[in-house]
Amino acid sequence: MRTVAMILAGGAGSRLSVLTQKRTKPAVPFAGKYRIIDFALSNCVNSGIFTIGVCTQYRPRSLNEHIGAGQPWDLDRMTGGVTLLQPYIGRRDSDWYQGTADAIYQNLDFVNRQNPDVVLILAGDHIYEMDYDVMITFHLERGADLTIAALKADPQEASRFGILEIDGDYNVTGFREKPSEPTGPWASMGIYAFNPRVLQDILTADHGRRRSRHDFGANIIPSMLRAHHRVHAFPFSGYWVDVGTVQAYWQAHMDLLDQSPQLDLRGRDWIIHTRSEERPPATIGRQAHIEQSLITDGCIVEGRVSQSILSPGVVVKPGATVSRSIILTDAVVEQGAVIDHAVIDKRVLIGADTHIGADDVESCRTLAGLANGLTVIGKNTIIPPGVRVGRECAIAADLGPDAFSGEPVPAGTSLGLTADDD
């Protein structure tokens, strides 16, 4: 039985605010040492799937450099392995991917060259551990044309997902994409196992429909149900999260800090592989105080860190405080600075006595689209000493000290972002 996995990794991820200003969403760092796409790639190889196509499009350089030839995942192979699939302009055909289904349609030649028994389609921006082999066995035993991985969603969150109607034998009898009033608890996880012949036929037909969005949720699944294809749901009960918003991204990190986390990255029976540079061991200073946190190699901590995740090379200087925050690679928190409930991107410099997430800063009328008090600061930005930044602010990448007037940055401010960035 031969499976080819296709990972959709071309989305802009605009709801992740400045974290995707300079990279695609699957390339966003996670949990100190990983990238989000590491979970889909590692799930594949841990499930015995070693032929993988990755469909990229939006700002792919960081993702392409991270995956490379696939060596960390044992995918640097003469046969199979990982292939990066980018849209191209050809003499007779081609275009930017117009939707998730179109991304697969434009790469059917790659799929067909593998001569698979099953085509597994995955999103590259979800955090979870899953043995795909169990789902594929379920799919083949039922003779399904399509099997959709599904989990029971929180009713308050159900409107964010495609909702499946399922009978007692896990046959899918109905589907609604992001309904305002969900008709049931079962949500699609965006993980699909297809019969290859059916996939080819349904994508080819969809390609010819001018009004189609060429999307699996909006078009492909409903059309298959109307045509009475055999569509089944595979129930999943493990930890899974779509880190599509800054709040969901932050919460997924906080979940890792639980005393008994649902997603335990320390387990050796299901390793999440990644590409990472060599760093020296973390250095914890005499005056440091750390609690309920993840500290990665190369960090130097001399201040206070609580309920936070520090990526490689982060420096927290004496007198500085970091709480309820995610600090990405090589960021520096100078003496006396305070960071509370924030996401700080790579190589950001937080000046001495600066306060990120200050409660005493008045609100701005134009909100940055963030919620629950969370502030996010983009890659390479330098915040000068003594600045006070309110809650729910989005500070763009690559800003220098001149972007800050010395006055407090009002809560809800979107600083340095254009309409395209938002």
Domains (range + CATH), the chain: 3-256 (3.90.550.10), 283-415 (2.160.10.10)
Which tokens hold the place of 113?
């060259």
Give residue 6's identity as a one-letter amino acid code: M
pLDDT of residue 244: 86
Q: CB count, 10 Å around CB of 351?
A: 19
Residue pair 191/121 in contact (Cβ under 8 Å)? The answer is: yes
Q: What is the C-alpha to C-alpha distance for residues 50 and 79, in angstroms, rounded to an integer?
A: 9
Mean pLDDT, range 321-344, rounded to an integer: 98
Which tokens hold the place of 60?
């792919």
Please give the biggest Cα pair distance in the chain: 68
Q: CB count, 10 Å around CB of 332?
A: 20
Which tokens hold the place of 129?
């551990």
Q: Is the pLDDT of residue 295 over 80?
A: yes
Q: Is the pLDDT of residue 421 over 60?
A: no
Q: Is the pLDDT of residue 422 over 50?
A: no
Which tokens hold the place of 167?
């009978």
Q: CB count, 10 Å around CB of 266?
A: 6
Which one, of 204, 131, 142, lies nearest residue 167 by Cα?
142
pLDDT of residue 84: 95
pLDDT of residue 145: 98
Mean pLDDT, range 46-58, rounded to an integer: 95
Give 243's DSSP letter: -
In the predicted model, what is the mean pLDDT of the chain? Answer: 92
Q: Is the pLDDT of residue 92 over 60?
A: no
Which one, of 130, 202, 141, lies nearest residue 1 by Cα?
141
Q: What is the C-alpha to C-alpha distance for residues 215 and 226, in angstroms, rounded to an integer?
A: 16
Opening angle at CA 91, ends 85 and 94, nearest 5: 40
Per-residue pLDDT band at 12 (split at 50, 70, 90): confident
Q: What is the percent of the chain with per-residue pLDDT over 70, rounded to a whole number?
A: 96
Which one, of 57, 44, 33, lies nearest residue 256 by Cα?
33
Phi, psi of 305 (to 5 degrees): -135, 125
Mean pLDDT, range 223-245, rounded to an integer: 95
pLDDT of residue 45: 97
Please tell me the pTM assigned to this model. 0.94
Q: Ramachandran region of residue 390, left (φ > 0), alpha (ψ -120 to 50) or beta?
A: beta
Which one, of 343, 361, 352, lies nearest residue 32 by Cα?
343
Q: How far apart are the first and last CA of the chain?
A: 45
Q: What is the C-alpha to C-alpha distance for residues 4 and 111, in angstroms, rounded to an integer?
A: 7
